[in-house]
Amino acid sequence: MRVKHLILPSIAVLALSGAPSAFAVRGGASRATPRATGGVGLGAPAVPASPPSQPTVPGFVAKIIHGVGYAPSYAPIQVQRAIWAGNQIRHKPYIYGGGHGSFKDAGYDCSGSVSYVLHGAGLLKTPYDSSGFMSWGQHGLGRWITVYTNPAHAFVQIAGIRFDTSAMDDPNPPPGTGPRWRPVIAHVPGFVARHPAGL
């Protein structure tokens, strides 16, 4: 779709008058002209760039951007590595028992996903199932990392985002099955909270 004429309020025309030659102001109207260098034109959907292999955002809280977990820049390195590890498997399918025989697998179940993330952070040497996580680490909520578990399911919340195979309380679940980054859950009845020492 090509925009032929775009009429802007006079205040906006003044703001654009010092802009590069992408816009030529003529009689109160602005005409978009294509640029030889490429980029996003008017009306074109924004295409996200490929995320860096170790994406971060400023501050203490992680963010999910286009399905990718961005680690907070002020978090301990173990927290950042946990998020980056989750990014490595975020498109893997759900496979019951996946991630239990080996950290590297074709797909992951809930506890296999949690195991992979914690192993990537250097916090777990062998994979656990959800029952095993009930006695892992220390009891209660962590400052940065909390594993929620019961005999049937496990997931982890890291620096304000959740890594989970379940779409529970996710208003916009990403497509597919398997581990995905999701919003945190504030109240988690029926689960035991565990965390790594110091985190």
- Residue 114's domain is classified under what CATH number? 3.90.1720.10
For residue 2, is it within any domain? yes
Q: Are residues 61 and 17 in the same domain?
A: no
Q: Are residues 71 and 115 in the same domain?
A: yes
Residue 149 has pLDDT above 80, yes or no: yes
Q: What is the mean pLDDT of residues 94-104?
A: 96
Beta strands in 131-173 (DSSP E): 138-139, 145-149, 154-158, 161-164
Query: How many structural domains compose the chain?
Result: 2
Q: Are residues 90 and 138 in the same domain?
A: yes
For residue 82, is it within any domain? yes
For residue 3, is it within any domain? yes
Q: What is the mean pLDDT of residues 140-168?
A: 98
CA-closest candidate to residue 77, choices 164, 185, 196, 192: 196
> Which pLDDT does position 105 carry in this prediction?
97
Q: Are residues 119 and 24 in the same domain?
A: no
8 A C-beta contact, residue 179 and residue 118: no
Q: Are residues 38 and 128 in the same domain?
A: no
- The amino acid that residue 199 corresponds to is L
* More confident position, 3 or 58: 58
Which residues are CB-neighbours of 116 under 8 A, at least 6 positions away?
A: 85, 86, 88, 89, 99, 103, 108, 127, 179
Q: Are residues 75 and 7 in the same domain?
A: no
For residue 23, is it within any domain? yes
Residue 148 has pLDDT above 80, yes or no: yes
Residue 142 has pLDDT above 80, yes or no: yes
For residue 48, is it within any domain? no
> Which pLDDT does position 56 carry in this prediction?
97
Q: Write out the residue range of the structural domain in which residue 7 sits.
A: 1-43
Q: Are residues 66 and 19 in the same domain?
A: no
Backbone angles phi, psi at 116, to 5 degrees: -60, -45
Q: Are residues 29 and 101 in the same domain?
A: no
Residue 34 has pLDDT above 90, yes or no: no
For residue 107, is it within any domain? yes
Q: Which two tokens stand for residue 33?
A: 């002209």
For residue 30, is it within any domain? yes
Q: Are residues 29 and 104 in the same domain?
A: no
Of 14-18, 85-89, 155-159, which gets the smallest average pLDDT?
A: 14-18
pTM for this entry: 0.75
First to last CA, the chain: 51
Q: What is the pLDDT of residues 164-187, one digit of tens each?
A: 999 999 998 888 889 999 999 988
